[in-house]
Chain A
Amino acid sequence: MKDNIFLASMVSPHTELLGSEFQSWDPETLTATMRFTVKRDVITARGGVQGGLVAGYLDDVMGYAHVLSTDGELAPLTLELSMSLLKPVREGAIIGKGRVVKAGRRVIYLEGELLSDDGEVLARATSTNIPTPRPTIADMDSN
């Protein structure tokens, strides 16, 4: 695997909120694996992550898959995202997997899953995106 030097520049304000940590990239299956530390801030009275916010983790790992598949050149701008929430996502460590299903010139299809530490599927998503040049925090500062 090539050194993904740009990974350091993938840091974003939401990285902290989601407790995102990149783990690995499989260029054969176009799959990115991440680890998230779910914080108490995103938990509801039910004791799991608020349903909507679950999409934050899924979007993050699906985005990584697309960015890595383009060697850091492009990033997906999400148009549509559908998810199924299979089990509550609890505070603590979870695994995210994101995969590029199809990357066309104009449209990118991605999918993602969140798993518990023992491999149970907690949530899954598919998304439709358009590719854009990858923004970085440096762009944010110059805005």
Chain B
Amino acid sequence: MTKIYEEQRSPSAELMGSEFVSFDKEKGELTTRFNPPASFASPRGAVQGGLIAGFLDEVMGGALLAVTDEQRLPLNLDMSLSFMRMVPLAPIIAKGRVVRAGNRVAFLEGELYDEAGKLLARARSTALPTPVPGAEE
């Protein structure tokens, strides 16, 4: 599982600096750490609301990849986000889970926490599971 974090990083994954923490196979839950780049800040001095979705998408996508033995990545159709607290420009913990992965549709959810464990934001996404871009089918 950790190897996907070393290979094939897309520019967006590179930008957000995702770091693997753990994967719980039973729960289908991936945990990663991010260090939000300064370029994500709004004038409030925290990560701009919309860009928070970038981290959530990244960890939810990683969860689907892990659950499908690195065969599928989500192509998002819809995403809905709740922002509970400001996301600081400091390391954050992300959790992504596969709620259900069918052949045609995957339902994913994710949360961001600060280092003290406070819930910062959460997301739900409806996605098409597609082959990993660039991979052999």
Contact = CB atoms under 8 A, between A and B. Distances in A.
Interface of A: 10, 12-14, 16-17, 40-47, 49-60, 75, 77-85, 127, 134-137, 139-140, 143
B43 A12 contact: yes
Given A41-B11, A79-B82, A12 B54 contact: no
Contacts of B51: 14, 17, 53, 55-56, 59
A77 B75 CA distance: 28
Interface stretch (B19-27, B33-41, B97-105): B33-41
B43 A140 contact: yes
A75 B53 CA distance: 20
Interface of B: 8, 10-15, 38-45, 48-58, 74-83, 123, 125, 127, 132-134
Nearest to B50: A59
Given A45-B8, A45-B10, A56 B43 contact: no
Contacts of A79: 82-83
A60 B49 CA distance: 9
Given A44-B13, A45-B8, A52-B55, A57 B50 contact: yes
In terms of DSSP, what is the predominant structure of the interface of chain B?
mixed
A49 B40 contact: no
Given A44-B10, A45-B8, A85-B77, A56 B48 contact: yes
Top 9 nearest A-B pairs (CB, nearest first) are A52-B57, A59-B50, A51-B76, A52-B53, A55-B50, A78-B49, A50-B12, A55-B53, A56-B50
A55 B81 contact: yes
Nearest to B48: A14
B39 A135 contact: no
A134 B42 CA distance: 11
B133 A50 contact: no
B45 A143 contact: yes
A41 B48 contact: no
10 contacts: A14-B41, A41-B11, A43-B12, A45-B8, A50-B10, A51-B75, A60-B48, A78-B83, A81-B53, A82-B81
A108 B133 CA distance: 39
Contacts of A53: 12, 50-51, 53-54, 57
A60 B13 CA distance: 21
A28 to B, nearest CB: 26
Nearest to B77: A85
